[in-house]
Amino acid sequence: MDLVARLIATGLFSGYLPFSPGTAGSAVGLVLYWFIPGSESILGSVAIVPLFFLGVWAAKRVDMATHSHDNQQTVIDEIVGMLITLIFMEKKILWLAIGFILFRLFDIFKPYPVRLAEKFPHGWGVMMDDVAAGLYAAAALRLIHWLAG
């Protein structure tokens, strides 16, 4: 398998952590959101789209090379899901931390129809369940933010 696909799929090799690689990938997404200027703007949301398609490509390459589906070391899906969770959210530690926790919960428990998205073929299924979890987490984060005033 080529290095570029592995580098993208594993989130700069953060997926190789021996414990909780999905949490590590989510943390990479959080750090990207925090440090990339303008990530909370429309430009940040537009940047998620090519990253998603790169993730589909890279996840498919890793799955084919490892003869698996949704290899545990593939965390580009968590990175994209985390970015979706935080989209347009103000960069304050409290809201980013709540968003992180919400995304991890939705990603782990996969409420309906998140789990169904895993069934898409190749890299699509790898990415789509985390996109769905990110959308759920984003909605929950906005609701909490709104209720907090």
Q: Give the N- to C-terminal CA distance of the chain in Å, as an integer.
A: 49
pLDDT tens for each residue of 48-83: 999 999 999 999 999 888 878 778 899 999 999 999
**Average pLDDT of every residue of the chain:** 92
Confirm if 79 and 61 have CB atoms less than 8 A apart. Answer: no
pTM of the model: 0.94
Domain ranges of the chain: 3-147
What confidence score (pLDDT) does residue 122 get?
A: 83
pLDDT grade for 1, boundaries at 50, 70 and 90 = low
Indicate whether 133 pLDDT > 60.
yes
Backbone angles phi, psi at 20, to 5 degrees: 50, 60
Confirm if 26 and 82 have CB atoms less than 8 A apart. Answer: yes
Backbone angles phi, psi at 12, to 5 degrees: 60, 40
Quickly count: other Cβ atoms within 10 Å of residue 23's Cβ: 18
CB within 8 Å of 137: residues ≥ 6 apart:
81, 84, 85, 99, 102, 103, 105, 106, 107
Distance in angstroms (rounded) separating the CA atoms of residues 101 and 99: 5
pLDDT tens for each residue of 91-131: 999 999 999 999 999 999 989 888 888 788 888 999 999 99
